[in-house]
Amino acid sequence: MPLRRRLRELHNVFPDGVVPAISTYEVDGMYFVVDGRHRVALAHELGMEYIDAEVTALTTSHALTPDVDVRQLIHTEQHRIFKERSRLLVRHPEAKILFSRPTGYGQILDLVEAHAYQMSVRAGELVPLEEATADWYETEYLPAIAAVHEAELPQDYEHTTKGDIYLWVQAKRRELRTTNRNSTWADAALAARREGVSRREQRALKRERRRPLPRRGQPIGVHSSSRSTAQALHTSRARSSRVGGGTAAKGS
């Protein structure tokens, strides 16, 4: 819905500007609107200095950059969870697996855990996840990336990360194996190259792509949650107007 139309509707319903509380994250004095960007815009239009807000304070060991947004915070947290749960860096400290979208880390964890289960079944005993992750990296991920380079996929998928390409090629190999159980990573990489990625998906990936924030010490975590009056709408304005352009901020 166009912003001006939505603001007119909110103004008719809340002519005095007393709107339901917005939801925000507060990190190092910076506010990120999660739900309520239209209400923030209405408050600006009415010249209000304060707005009621549900504020969840987050502590972070990562350095916040001036252009950080909610998506990047979520991306950083998902990246941290992947590294901690998979323990990939214990055996392979050189490994660097990144995704354009934070959902990629959950998808890769599912594949790693499935690999660990299969190894445990074959071994007749529980294989530690650290060991299974290292085996997955050596026998699945690296051969897949080698096939990707052989097929020159990175040249066609410049808008993506190697992690993104791995997930697509992995899905393509799984699809090919429904009719040919001997399909290889090379077969999947060539099929992915022939199929390509729609321009719409490329634009979406470029728009949504984020990188984990640089580390400063400990992981992001919920520190406290409270209902308070959020001062300094100039702070919220800078965050909500930018975050509101995507899916990180939502609602009215």
pLDDT over threshold 50, residue 114: yes
Q: What is the mean pLDDT of residues 87-102?
A: 92
pTM beyond cutoff 0.85: no
Residues 176/137/153/107 CA torsion (nearest 10 deg)? 70
pLDDT over threshold 80, residue 92: yes
Q: What is the mean pLDDT of residues 100-122?
A: 94
CA dist 248 and 239 (Å) reads 11
Pairing label, strands 22-27, 51-59? parallel
Q: What is the DSSP letter of 16?
A: T
| pLDDT value at residue 129 | 92
Q: What is the mean pLDDT of residues 71-92?
A: 88
| pLDDT value at residue 215 | 67
CA dist 196 and 158 (Å) reads 12
CA dist 79 and 127 (Å) reads 23
Residue 219: pLDDT band (50, 70, 90) is: very low
| pLDDT value at residue 249 | 41
| pLDDT value at residue 14 | 80
pLDDT over threshold 70, residue 184: yes
Q: What is the mean pLDDT of residues 67-75?
A: 78
HSE-CB for 105 with a 13 A CA cutoff? 23
Local structure of 22: helix, strand or coil: strand
